[in-house]
Chains A and B, each alone.
Chain A
Amino acid sequence: NAGVTQTPKFQVLKTGQSMTLQCAQDMNHNSMYWYRQDPGMGLRLIYYSASEGTTDKGEVPNGYNVSRLNKREFSLRLESAAPSQTSVYFCASSEGSGTQLEKLFFGSGTQLSVL
């Protein structure tokens, strides 16, 4: 069982370049999330999707866009990368209802550096 798979694991971009981080889950979860983790900061929510067809902004959405392509896949796009977006990005999923709402399953992360 793969769980949550995100690609790539590492990426180096130049300022102004664009890229898409891919995420897929095979647990039939309704909800999916994108977080970023920076040194000295807690995980911060960028965007989430409570169910297929819906997306909502989290705490730090500026500079990002997302697409919930289907129930399995949730991608994060940086249209014009900036050095402030250097971070570790985690995709996560959860059942999204009841007591399983907050039981998040995370992907292994993407280390992104913007030069």
Chain B
Amino acid sequence: RKEVEQDPGPFNVPEGATVAFNCTYSNSASQSFFWYRQDCRKEPKLLMSVYSSGNEDGRFTAQLNRASQYISLLIRDSKLSDSATYLCVVNLSWGSQGNLIFGKGTKLSVKP
């Protein structure tokens, strides 16, 4: 099953760096998109939704490219605390809880 694909990483970056992750999805009918963050041995937590127009939350920017079927997450000025695995999540159909597909995640390690 390769409905949602992410580069597993790890991405090893120094503090202050800008890092970007991409996630591709195979179903063009996918309706909504999200980034979750998962710390080591912890539960996933919603980081941000991804809107068609792109959206920003502080140092984090998410973008959606429907034509090429990918979403991206950009982290500026990386902090040590950003070290985590970032999960791309795609909902295949509007209004249905049973169609959330999680990517395998991209691991980020921010070094001093």
Contact = CB atoms under 8 A, between A and B. Distances in A.
Contacts of B57: none
**From DSSP, what is the main secondary structure of chain B's interface residues?**
strand
Interface in A76-106: 90, 94, 96, 101-104, 106
Interface in B31-52: 32, 34, 36, 42-46, 49
B102 A101 contact: no
A43 interface: yes
Given A42-B105, A48-B98, A90 B43 contact: yes
Contacts of A56: 98
Contact of A42 (B45, B49, B104): B104
Contacts of B49: 102-103
A66 to B, nearest CB: 13
Contact of A102 (B34, B42, B103): B34
B4 A42 contact: yes
Interface residues of A, number: 24
A44 B103 CA distance: 10
A109 B39 CA distance: 12
By CB atoms of chain B within 10 A, which of A31, A90, A96, A102 has the most?
A: A102
B104 A108 contact: no
A102 B42 CA distance: 19
**From DSSP, what is the main secondary structure of chain A's interface residues?**
loop
Contacts of A102: 32, 34, 49, 89, 91, 97, 100
A41 B97 contact: no
B79 to A, nearest CB: 23
A53 interface: no
B43 A45 contact: no
27 contacts: A40-B104, A42-B4, A42-B87, A42-B101, A42-B102, A42-B103, A42-B104, A43-B44, A43-B87, A43-B102, A45-B100, A48-B97, A50-B97, A58-B98, A94-B97, A96-B97, A101-B91, A101-B95, A101-B97, A102-B32, A102-B89, A102-B91, A104-B36, A106-B43, A107-B43, A109-B42, A109-B43
